Amino acid sequence: MSAEGALLFARYAYPPNELGYCGPDDAAALLRPGAASGMEARARQFDGAWCYLEFLAESAGISDPLDARVVEAYWIGNELLGLADSGALVERLLDRFRGQPGGTWREAAHRAVPHHSFQVYDVYPWAALLRAGGNPAALTVLDRCRIRTGVVLGVDGESATVESRPLSWDGKVLVPGPPRREQVRWSTGGRSLIAGVSPGDRVALHWDWVCDVLTDEQAARIESIEGVRHGEINSLMA
């Protein structure tokens, strides 16, 4: 198992795990020193993410689902996404999420991609609920659950002020809205999975947590993949 990949997985998986939305109990275990050594056992309990990691690794001929390249492909995006067959992914999801209600993934054999954004927008029912009735709670969950980018404006202890673009829905089109400031955390109780953040950093955000400091290329990948998801959702809503 790759220690680098295990740490990267923990950075993005911790926020929803802390909130109790996915993964095993005791989310704080992800923040403890040496947590990487037991990460595979914990990662397997993230039913959604692990399915994609296994599929990505198999598609790329990589033996370790927690290889850093595989983990980056799922959360951020990289060249491994292009090696995956969309139809085969849907077949895998049909086996893994057969009882999952809602969503548009069963009809997505021509456009499925093993990226977190596909799980958020297509497998989960929130986008379909938004399309059906403009459910405001659905918009909030989509906005928080996706991996989004932001720029750090200031740091105050374990919190940071960032500028990001929340999702906007006008009844027909889902797009990034105007930039806004929000308060997020990068550390809790003196423990963090990153060294720190500084004003001007481009960061990845998941729920109310800073997952990582991004390169410009990584930020562009996240935003590009988000744009594709929005285009697909808007097309389905037309």
The whole-number pLDDT of residue 85 equals 96
pLDDT, residue 36, reads: 66
Q: Which pLDDT belongs to residue 154? A: 98
Domain boundaries, the chain: 3-99
Q: Is the overall model pTM greater than 0.75, yes or no?
A: yes
Q: How high is the pLDDT of residue 63?
A: 95
**178-187: long-range contacts (C-beta < 8 A, 24 or more apart)?**
181/153, 182/150, 182/208, 183/159, 183/208, 184/150, 184/159, 184/160, 184/208, 184/209, 184/210, 185/158, 185/159, 185/160, 185/209, 185/210, 186/155, 186/158, 186/159, 186/160, 186/210, 187/158
pLDDT of the residue at 237: 67
Q: What is the mean pLDDT of each run of 10 residues along the chain (238 residues)?
A: 89 96 91 78 92 97 97 98 96 85 83 96 89 84 97 98 95 91 97 96 98 97 94 78
Q: Which residue has the tokens 């497998």?
A: 123
